[in-house]
Structure 1
Amino acid sequence: MCTRPLASYLSILHVFLLLLVTHWDVPAVLAAGGKWELLLPSIGISSMHMQLLQNDKVIMFDRTDFGKSNISLPDGQCRTDPNFGPSGDCSAHSVEYDIATNSIRSLMVLTNVWCSSGAVMEDGTLVQTGGTAEGERAIRIFNPCSDNACDWQETPDGLLRSRWYSTNHLLPDGRQIILGGRGQFNFEFHPKVPSADQVYGLRFLEETNDPNIENNLYPFVFLNQDGNLFIFANNRAILFNYITRVIVKTYPEIPGGDPRSYPSTGSAVLLPLKMQGATQILAAEVLVCGGAPKGSYVNALNNNFVGALDTCARININDRDPKWILEKMPLARVMGDMVLLPDGNVLLINGGSAGAAGWELGRDPVLTPCMYRPDNLIGSRFEVQNPTNIPRMYHSTASLLRDGRVIVGGSNPHNLYSFTGVLFPTELSLEAFSPPYLEPESARLRPEIVSPASGTNIGYGRNVQLRFSVSGSVNANSVKVTMLAPPFNTHSFSMGQRLLVLRTGNLRRALLSNAYIITVTIPQSTNLAPSGYYLMFVVNQGIPSEGIWVKLQ
């Protein structure tokens, strides 16, 4: 299950001992599932940041001051950089991965994107912000194309403040909010409105800041159904009206008080929003998993690597009296990623089981992903998956693809590219994890969406007919339709990740054999689903189709 066999056996023993004591905190299911495949042994860079775009290509980049990468810029281009001498840096620090051809194209990023943030606008354009040095106030635009002619377009001073370790989120009005960052207890918007270009203070970020180690960087941000933002930093959370700049609700501290955000890096998701029509959802729940106990970062700086947190905390953010409920994971995890899957489950992947985020500060890679099934009873939600053999430590990434696989890259806990003589060498490879729903024995249950065609525009509040085929059996009571907003992933947080379970009408057979029609109701409000590109899936008996791209407008 992990790199230390004895630790794995002790972890399993610990699970069964817990079973004798209490039922609610047991990571119940230990059966392994899923399959790993190596996509490319090297993409030339170490994927620190990752975004799937609507042309089925994935943009990845690391930082411009890692040293020369292992892939050249196209057409003999070079980037002016005094650190590389008169000829500059002719290596790439960003690439575009083509899923269909399993190939890489190098891209030219000029300013330093180290520990930056981003989100996709409603027109499908990736807006990427901040970084360090000459990139700390930069805005970079990537407009996807089909002819390999597109590349980064940069505005060095597009931001009003330096944004390093900040968080972006697409808003209901089509703007992005860019929140926080090192030494920045404030937020701003993109695009700018000339008459209102300014920075707005957020005292909550200052209150959650530890002067020595911060622990409030890359805050977890989610859009609630009422249009307010749930913001989590360190071990606390608020519901914030970014328009009136008023804190609407203050949530209790996570039990135990341990930090969960960078550099005590846990991860978080907004659990799938189950639609009860076009305007209402069943609940809005946030799940925060892993992280590092208090003092772990300072201890790691002194070569004392404290074990990571082995708990998740879950809260219904719209309860009148919201409370965190703790659950125990099968494996402790810091620097892990949480990926929403089309069937509504959550994949916990990557990271280590000791230390903290930062150069050389993590230990004991967790090679084993875990599945979290939010609809199961507490005590039976976790399921251990099959392990990889590639450690994915600090600066790793993960993202869902349209075919249901999870792409995994990165891992470079060093100040430069370091391939030898280090505990965890710089990792340039790209892998894919196939969850159990992609196992061959489930193929007959896997739907195939016939219509609408991928790329179709759909309107708010509409009823849309989905036609799909299944070669095997269909259980009308277990067919659902989900819609995912692909996120921007970096530093164990997927910004803007959002999955809706749409309200469906009666399922009926079409005239063709093994063909079916189901009507789904599209959300009516941009608070529930901001305008933009989504992946839509049909799920039959827990087995999702390949997704189709739809543009909600």
Structure 2
Amino acid sequence: MINYGKTFIITTSVLCLSIAILSEAQPYMMQLDRWEVLQPSIGISAMHMQLLHNGMVIMFDRTDFGNSNISLAGGMCRYDPSDTAVKFDCSAHSVLYDVASNTYRPLKVQTDTWCSSGSVLPNGTLVQTGGYNDGDRAARMFTPCGFSETCDWIEFPQYLTQRRWYATNQILPDGRIIVVGGRRQFNFEIFPRADYRSIESRFEFLRETTDGSNENNLYPFLHLLPDGNLFVFANTRSIVFDYKRNRIVREFPEIPGGDPRNYPSSGSSILLPLDETNNVDLEAEIMVCGGAPKGAFSGVKNGRGFARATSTCGRLKLTGANPSWEMETMPLPRVMGDMLLLPTGDVIIVNGAGTGTAGWENARDPLTRPVIYYPFERRFSVMSTASRPRMYHSSAVLLADGRILVGGSNPHVYYNFTNVEYPTELSLEAYSPPYLSFTSDSIRPKILTSGKVVNYKTLFNLSFSIAQFLTIDLLSVRIVAPSFTTHSFAMNQRMVILKLISVARDGLTNSYRINVLGPSTAEIAPPGYYMMFLVHSGVPSSGTWVQIE
């Protein structure tokens, strides 16, 4: 039943026609995906990426390898007496990329951002934490502005209480950010730190999950759960952690197989979409894919060769009396792969290698073919081949137009473009999944208007047009939090499927208006900017930005 002002009944004949149209318009079956090189060089290798709510992507590398291939604007230079490579540097190590115009400009970052972490505050400001050397205690902030304006990094070099190198960030329901772990850091802290010192920050779980060499639990996988606690995965173990009381609420069985999944074994993890469409308890399910076998990192260092990457994925439903891992096998073994949620709720795994581990010169057999995983059907599809390998220090983010932006790959100590098997990559590529094929245009919705602000448990309106509306049962509204992606983990990424209340014709041909209920709680959708997609029959609209508050 669709509400067109009054009730409109879908007759049997219309429903049969809808099913026939749907069977002819399955975009995934046609494999009409494609790759496109957007920029042959942006001057830096995009080790870290964050999409901002004004359509810009901020990217950065590290400062301690020497000059990049792009100069700072206006003859600016950075002087850093503690830099280990070059103390007077007139090149940029961060850029701001404008998706709409496919242009970029240099940004000035002073302290070393190598292997750092980040989250976006509810007001849209990126908070970026840690790094190496003079950057290991730094907090940096970038507030979005227009591309032609002069916004740049603002830095607070000694803001953090501990060194944060290979740490993980997660936005919290109250808009603060938790920063967890890092090399030889078995603790956590909160940004901003005003009331932090009243909290005991020791986190022994991180000490327990080292393998004796402080490895395989770096960049722990963090996911905020609907009850406000954190899911934390390190090495092979996982827990539910109450950060407010600093206690473990629950511990799960180890992921089967015994293969570590965190850096440098570098698998990846996502929280599958949270579905608020049914009036039942919200189910949270985690997925962890890929990695490298135990001992693979030391095996490369000791000359024993490059071990085959892990090919398994584990799914863990966190509800129920006795949660257990359900294992599946990817069509390609993969280490250093990036897992991202597509607007459809499917999962893409892109970048990485088939053998070895993370680390300089530590991997071989680059995987240039992403796979898409369909959680409901529990199947994988191998997709089209990219033009270049993306291995260590590559990254990827979902864009509002539904494409995947891919950049980076520098498996060397310094930038190296010649006489190496895998040269440093300064290029940007975009991957268009099959749902962006022209064959799906007739059933692709287009958002016409929507509110800029969405409140919790509050109805809001959205207008859209579509050439061929099949049935309301094939329509859903989803919000996606953009990720801070680095080292094979997309921090803060989450999707919430909102409750659709009604659909009505909007008075124009092929134009409709829907009523949607905002997310229930800040634990389900922390405050901040989200991309909102309308998905019809597996085909998403372009996203529009909304602020949850």
TM-score by length of 1: 0.91
Structure 1 residues 30 and 336, CA, compared in 2 at 3 Å: closer, same or farther?
A: farther
The residue that corresponds to 2:143 in the other structure is 143
> What is the rounded CA distance, in whole Å, between the counterparts of 2:530 and 2:123 in structure 1?
11
CA distance in 1, matches of 2:137, 2:242: 25
Report if aligned partners of 2:66, 2:86 keep a CA contact under 8 Å in 1.
Answer: no
| Distance verdict in 2 for CA 1:162–1:199, change over 3 Å | farther
Match of 2:433 in 1: 435
Question: CA distance change for structure 1 residues 413 and 495 in 2, over 3 Å: closer, same or farther?
Answer: same
Equivalent residue, structure 2, for 1:89: 89
Q: Does 1:70 align with 2:69?
A: yes
Residue 343 of structure 1 aligns to a residue in which SS? coil
> What is the one-letter code of the residue matched to 2:436?
L
User: 3-state DSSP class of the match of 1:238?
Assistant: strand
Q: CA–CA distance in 2 between the matches of 1:80 and 1:326?
A: 51
Distance 2:354 2:67 in 1: 31
| Shift in Å, 1:148 | 2.1
Q: Counterpart in 1 of 2:23?
A: none
Note closer, same or farther for the CA distance 1:327–1:140 as it changes in structure 2 (3 Å cut).
same
Task: Identify which of 370, 382, 385 aligns with 1:384.
Answer: 382
Once residues 30 and 359 of structure 1 are traced to their aligned partners in structure 2, the CA distance between those partners, rounded to angstroms, is 38
Q: Whole-Å Cα distance in 1 between the matches of residues 546 and 471 of structure 2? A: 25
Residues 1:281 and 1:109: Cα distance change in structure 2 (over 3 Å): farther
Q: CA RMSD in A?
A: 1.7
Unaligned runs of 5+ in 1: 1-28
Q: CA–CA distance in 2 between the matches of 1:202 and 1:87?
A: 36
Does the 8 A contact of 1:129 with 1:139 survive in 2? Answer: yes
Distance in 2 of aligned mates of 1:282 and 1:246:
23
CA contact (8 A) 2:226 2:282 kept: no
- CA shift, 1:194, in A, is 5.1
The Cα of 1:280 is off from its aligned counterpart by 5.7
Cα–Cα, structure 1 residues 66 and 31, in superposed 2: closer, same or farther, change >3 Å?
A: farther
SS class of match (1:221): strand
Whole-Å separation in 2 of the counterparts to 1:199 and 1:127:
23
Structure-2 change in CA distance of 1:85 and 1:69 (3 Å): closer
Aligned with 1:419: secondary structure? coil
Q: What letter is aligned with 2:269?
A: A
Establish whether residue 529 from structure 1 lines up as the match of residue 525 from structure 2. yes
Cα deviations by residue, 1:332-370 (Å, 9 ceiling, x for unpaired): 000000010111100000000000000100110011000
Query: Which SS does the other structure have where 1:60 is aligned?
Result: strand
Please tell me whether the aligned partners of residues 189 and 196 of structure 2 are also in contact (alpha carbons under 8 angstroms).
no
Task: Tell me what 1:229 maps to.
Answer: 230
Is the CA contact (8 Å cut-off) linking 2:222 and 2:233 kept in structure 1?
Answer: yes
Residues 429-467 of structure 1 show CA distances to partners (whole Å, capped at 9, x for unaligned) of 0000000000111112111111115xx111111111211
Once residues 331 and 366 of structure 2 are traced to their aligned partners in structure 1, the CA distance between those partners, rounded to angstroms, is 14
- In structure 1, the partner of 2:476 is 480
Residues 257-336 of structure 1: matches in 2 within 5 Å?
Answer: 257-276=258-277, 282-303=282-303, 304-336=305-337
Residue identity matched to 1:325: E
* SS of equivalent residue, structure 2 residue 542: coil
Query: 2:22 matched to which residue of 1?
Result: none
Contact 2:184 2:214 in 1 (8 A): no
8 A Cα contact 1:273 1:281, kept in partner: no
In structure 2, C-alpha distance between the alignment counterparts of 1:53 and 1:120, rounded to whole Å = 8
2:446 maps to amino acid = E
Residue 419 of structure 1 corresponds to 417
Q: Which amino acid aligns with 1:106?
A: P
2 CA distance for matches of 1:98 and 1:291? Answer: 33
- Asked whether 1:400 is paired with 2:394, we answer no
Whole-angstrom CA distance in 1 between matches of 2:125 and 2:415? 30
TM-score (norm 2): 0.92
Q: Give 5+ residue unaligned stretches, structure 2.
A: 1-27
Percent same amino acid at aligned positions?
Answer: 52
Question: How many aligned positions are there?
Answer: 519
Is the Cα–Cα contact under 8 Å of residues 277 and 497 in structure 2 kept in the other structure? Answer: no
Match of 1:126 in 2: 126
The answer to whether the Cα contact below 8 Å between 1:32 and 1:384 also exists between their aligned partners in 2 is no
In structure 2, distance between residues paired with 1:470 and 1:528: 30
- Please give the residue correspondences for 1:144-293 in structure 2 after superposition, counting only pairs within 5 Å: 144-146=144-146, 147-193=148-194, 196=197, 200-212=201-213, 214-276=215-277, 282-293=282-293
Is it true that 1:448 corresponds to 2:446 in the alignment? yes
Return the alpha-carbon distance in structure 1 between the equivalents of residues 86 and 242 of structure 2: 50
SS at match of 2:298: helix
Q: Quote the offset at 1:63 in angstroms.
A: 0.2
Cα distance, 1:85 vs structure 2: 9.7
The corresponding residue for 2:492 is: 496
CA 514–30 in structure 1, closer or farther in 2 if over 3 Å, else same: closer
Q: Which residue of 2 aligns with 1:359?
A: 360
1:507-534 superposed Cα distances (whole Å, 9 cap, x missing partner): 2322110011222111121110110000
Residue number in structure 2 paired with 1:47: 46
**AA of the residue aligned to 1:120:** V
Q: C-alpha distance in 2, partners of 1:511/1:198?
A: 56
* SS of equivalent residue, structure 2 residue 513: strand
Q: What CA distance in whole angstroms lies between the structure 2 residues aligned with 1:481 and 1:474? A: 16
Which residue does the alignment assign to 1:23? Answer: none
Report if aligned partners of 1:31, 1:383 keep a CA contact under 8 Å in 2.
no
For each residue in 1:67-100, what CA deviation from the matched residue of structure 2 results, as whole angstroms up to 9, or x when unmatched?
A: 2111000110001035699981000000000011
Kindly tell me: are residues 328 and 68 of structure 1, through their superposed partners in 2, closer, same or farther at Cα, counting changes over 3 Å? same
Q: For residue 270 of structure 2, give the secondary structure of its aligned residue in structure 1.
A: strand
CA distance in 2 between partners of 1:420 and 1:31 (Å): 38
Distance in 1 separating the partners of 2:346 and 2:443: 18
* Cα distance change of structure 1 residues 80 and 197 upon mapping to structure 2, 3 Å threshold: farther
2:31/2:434 contact within 8 Å kept: no
Q: Which SS does the other structure have where 2:389 is aligned?
A: coil
